[in-house]
Amino acid sequence: MAIERLTDARKAELVEQLGELKPKERMQIERHAMPEQEAEQRRNNFNEVPFGYSEETAMLEAARCIQCKKPTCIDGCPVNIDIPAFIKLIAEGNFRGAIRKMKETNMLPAICGRVCPQETQCEEVCVLGKKYKPVAIGRLERFIADWERESGEVDIPEVAPSTGKKVAVVGAGPAGLTVAIDCARFGHKVEVFEALHKPGGVLVYGIPEFRLPKAIVNAEVDVLKRMGVDIHYNYVVGKLESVNELLERFDAVFIGTGAGLPWFMGIPGENLIGVYSANEYRTRSNLMRAFDFPAYDTPTLKGGVVVTVGGGNVAMDSARTALRLGADRSILVYRRSRVEMPARVEEVEHAEHEGVEFHLLTNPIRCMGDEKGRVKQIECIKMELGEPDDSGRRRPVPMPGSEYIMDVNTVVIAIGNGPNPLIPQTTGDIETKKWGNIIADDKCRTTKRGVFAGGDIVLGAATVILAMGAGRDAAKAINEYFETGKWTGEEPEPEPEPNAKA
Amino acid sequence: MHKILKTEVLGPDVYRMVVEAEKIAKKRKAGQFIILRIDEFGERIPLTIAGADPEAGTITLIFQTVGKTTEHLATLKVGDHISDLVGPLGKPTHIENFGTAICVGGGIGIAPLHPITKALKEAGNRIISIIGARSKDLLILEDEMHEVSDELIVCTDDGSYGEKALVTEPLKRILDSGTQVNVCVAIGPPIMMKFVAKTTEPYELQTLVSLNSIMIDGTGMCGGCRVDVGGETRFTCVDGPEFDGHKVDFDLLMKRLDAYKEHERASYERWREEHTEECKLLEEMQKVQQDGN
């Protein structure tokens, strides 16, 4: 849906009015909601839920920012966007200026504005939040990015003169795309290697259309291509070409292969038909467009009672996808209570409004199937919260005797992902931690010279913005490595081998 | 995009196709597979790599038309393109000189069995091959298997060619004869692999089977291809496709392969209704092939 525009006259009027506001008056403006599709309607379609701000609403919301002398929001952002500066430009009606300011630090604002957990980052530390509600930074970020895209004039970042250095980026997800953009800006030649047939990684196979339209991901990737970055699809590094082989052709390699290995619970009946990993359930619907079967060939099980296990964003996405695929009931089973849910508050609310039923403090213990091996029932047990565990959250403890059985048609396991094992498996000298995460230092350097890593493959399943932050750090580190020729600061550097590329 | 360079009818509903895939042709090893997607609307299906020519930069695919995607694939002509082809996926077969190897293939499973047999032969193994099909016209790659085997036993279910037997019968006979056998590789329909594994188990003969689970990405991301091996959940795409046949839960595998049977049937019928011309052409190609036999 197109952004509602302001007339020049109204804009000028607003600029004047807002410019005169005193900090106290600014703080008293109420935080603006984003208009969105009605729950009853949206639970039946895959269109994006919120419509975004109009130009006027964006200016009014931006006027709430009191332009703190020592802004805390910037530190709350994993990529340190100059938040007060871009918001000030919006309040002044200078949308073009605002998006340019934004893109000095964040090249993918249309994505971050939609999927970042702002309430635990920038907005959590917003000074206004102490007494009032924080400035809707995420919504403004989204607004300014959408405004630029709709204007039809998307700035292509300036690319420095060619350095002659070549960087291979493995994985076209949030981390990889960020590294690619930044390295291209530094003037390095970048080639991206993606295993799937489309770019975006989790942005495309994981996050559903109703939360992040694919057209937005494609628009961001388009910028990358216009900067001269080549993307190779259907290219599985570790199988078609190893990291060591890439190092013969490239001066540096960045690994951003993500947390692509679904965890299962290890309960009986988990391999019955109709029990999906959240990755498979979402990939069928998002990447392969199974919701539009048979126009698209990939099928998925639809309708009936769908139970999703987990309490994160992936679980919310799965439970809401189930509704859109025609589930009679979509039930979310989570072993802790609502406050411990790792999902964004907005996603939990959206799920609830759409009719997802929450069975909290509940854990599945087994799935039962019929003679054809199809899941028919799930048995759960009630939990109570005990002492805090390593994560600081109270550990859920089963309550004996509280078991109950539900009839189900589909079960989606959304309890998390491990790191994808393909690269560590096929590159002996990249060290990993116990669960297979690649070990990287604060400059994203792995234990192998010339090889950097970042995002979920290092962090474990985290967020899009943290992956982008890692991508940004990695690009800086790659640049520094090229400039100094040094791998680590302390140790004397080995002489380059005669056959190694300069 | 991958250009199709050659197509050929191998038997009733069985086709051979040579496709441009330069890098895969250089990298692939016996036992590995690819995943393809014909076009924007297509599903991703795994197919074993039946052979490759690294110099020409081509790979050979052999497939049976069992549904919409495979039939669509069969109707593609020389010069047409396959949108996406990803591989080589899966772990290659562990090849060494075991001594004597028995290679058992059933139906379309003979296609992936052939490159493995060839590799085992090249590694110095003595090869006894047993290949079977429902009937003579369904038997593929007999000459090719003959070339890489020291001994070749052919059987058909209906006795229209070779021995009238299931592959397990000559297998048991060989094992009973006291012939020293060091390894068995069996590829075919899951039910065949199940019974081959059952046949070799009392002889404690190491038996490798290659599984053909439903999968999407093929890199361990979706978990759709999971199988139970010795009580543990494994992913066919990254842990396989080969597993210890004595440990695989074939009944679970067979059930999971039927997960979308109804969808597949509906999709197939819809396609046939919309593509009557192509279907007719396929029938004619089939007829020409049968007349040639």
CATH code assigned at B212: 3.40.50.80
Closest residue in A to B26 (Cα) is: A240
Task: Evaluate if residue B287 carries a pLDDT over 60.
Answer: yes
Closest residue in A to B34 (Cα) is: A234
Q: What is the CATH number of the domain that holds B77?
A: 2.40.30.10
Q: Check whether residue B37 and residue B126 sit in a common domain.
A: no
Do the domain assignments include residue B279? no
Task: Evaluate if residue A240 carries a pLDDT over 90.
Answer: yes
Q: Which of A3-12, A245-254, A420-429 has the highest mean pLDDT?
A: A245-254
For residue A65, what pLDDT is reported?
94
Q: What is the DSSP letter of B54?
A: T
Chain B CB contacts of A260 under 8 Å are 217, 219-221
Task: Evaluate if residue A92 carries a pLDDT over 50.
Answer: yes
Chain B CB contacts of A287 under 8 Å are 216
Q: Check whether residue B43 and residue B109 sit in a common domain.
A: no
B-proximal residues of A, 175-234, CB under 8 Å = 195-197, 205, 233-234
Do the domain assignments include residue B281? no
Closest residue in B to A282 (Cα) is: B222
Range with the poorest average pLDDT among A471-475, A486-490, B228-232, B277-281: A486-490
Between chain A and chain B, the number of residue pairs with CB atoms below 8 A apart is 115
- The pLDDT tens digits of the residues spanning A110-167 come to 999 998 889 889 999 999 998 899 999 999 999 999 999 999 888 888 899 999 999 9
Length of chain A: 502
pLDDT band at A345 (very low <50, low <70, confident <90, very high): confident
The closest CB to that of B252, out of A240, A264, A271, belongs to A271
Closest residue in B to A261 (Cα) is: B221
Q: Check whether residue B120 and residue B221 sit in a common domain.
A: yes
Q: Domain boundary residue among B44, B66, B89? A: B89
B-proximal residues of A, 474-493, CB under 8 Å = none
| ipTM reported for the complex surpasses 0.90 | yes
Phi, psi dihedral angles at A266 (to 5 degrees): 80, 25
Task: Evaluate if residue A235 carries a pLDDT over 80.
Answer: yes
pLDDT band at A502 (very low <50, low <70, confident <90, very high): very low
Distance in angstroms (rounded) separating the CA atoms of residues B197 and B215 = 24
User: Which pairing describes strands B58-64 and B14-20: parallel, antiparallel, or unpaired?
Assistant: antiparallel
Q: Check whether residue B116 and residue B196 sit in a common domain.
A: yes
Q: Check whether residue B132 and residue B221 sit in a common domain.
A: yes
Amino acid at position A443, single letter: K
Whose CA is closest to A444, among A254, A292, A278? A254
- The pLDDT tens digits of the residues spanning A26-66 come to 988 999 999 989 988 898 889 999 999 999 999 999 999 99
Distance in angstroms (rounded) separating the CA atoms of residues B71 and B83 = 16
For residue A461, what pLDDT is reported?
75
Distance in angstroms (rounded) separating the CA atoms of residues A67 and A83 = 9
Q: Domain boundary residue among B89, B112, B146? A: B89
A293 at interface of B, judged by CB pairs closer than 8 A: yes
Q: How many domains does chain B have?
A: 2
Do the domain assignments include residue B175? yes
Q: Check whether residue B40 and residue B184 sit in a common domain.
A: no
Task: Evaluate if residue B293 carries a pLDDT over 70.
Answer: no
Whose CA is closest to B271, among A132, A293, A483? A293
Q: How many CB atoms lie within 10 A of CB A156?
A: 12
Q: Check whether residue B108 and residue B63 sit in a common domain.
A: no
Do the domain assignments include residue B38? yes
Q: Domain boundary residue among B64, B89, B114? A: B89
Rg, C-alpha atoms of chain A: 24
What's the whole-model pTM score? Answer: 0.92
Task: Evaluate if residue A500 carries a pLDDT over 50.
Answer: no
Q: Check whether residue B16 and residue B81 sit in a common domain.
A: yes
Q: Check whether residue B130 and residue B76 sit in a common domain.
A: no
Do the domain assignments include residue B112? yes
pLDDT band at A1 (very low <50, low <70, confident <90, very high): low
- The pLDDT tens digits of the residues spanning B1-40 come to 999 999 999 888 899 999 999 999 999 999 999 999 999 9
For residue A315, what pLDDT is reported?
96
Asked if B258 lies within 8 A of A372 by C-beta distance, the reply is: yes
- For B185, the domain range is 100-257
Do the domain assignments include residue B139? yes
Q: Check whether residue B160 and residue B246 sit in a common domain.
A: yes
Asked if B89 lies within 8 A of A373 by C-beta distance, the reply is: no
For residue B239, what pLDDT is reported?
94
Do the domain assignments include residue B268? no
For residue A376, what pLDDT is reported?
97
Whose CA is closest to B129, among B164, B107, B101? B101
Q: Check whether residue B83 and residue B111 sit in a common domain.
A: no
Instruction: Give CA A320 to chain center in angstroms.
Output: 17
For residue A421, what pLDDT is reported?
81
Do the domain assignments include residue B289? no
Amino acid at position A94, single letter: N
Q: Check whether residue B216 and residue B83 sit in a common domain.
A: no
Task: Evaluate if residue A497 carries a pLDDT over 60.
Answer: no
3-state secondary structure of A12: helix
Asked if B221 lies within 8 A of A261 by C-beta distance, the reply is: yes
Shortest Cα–Cα distance, A374 to chain B (Å): 8
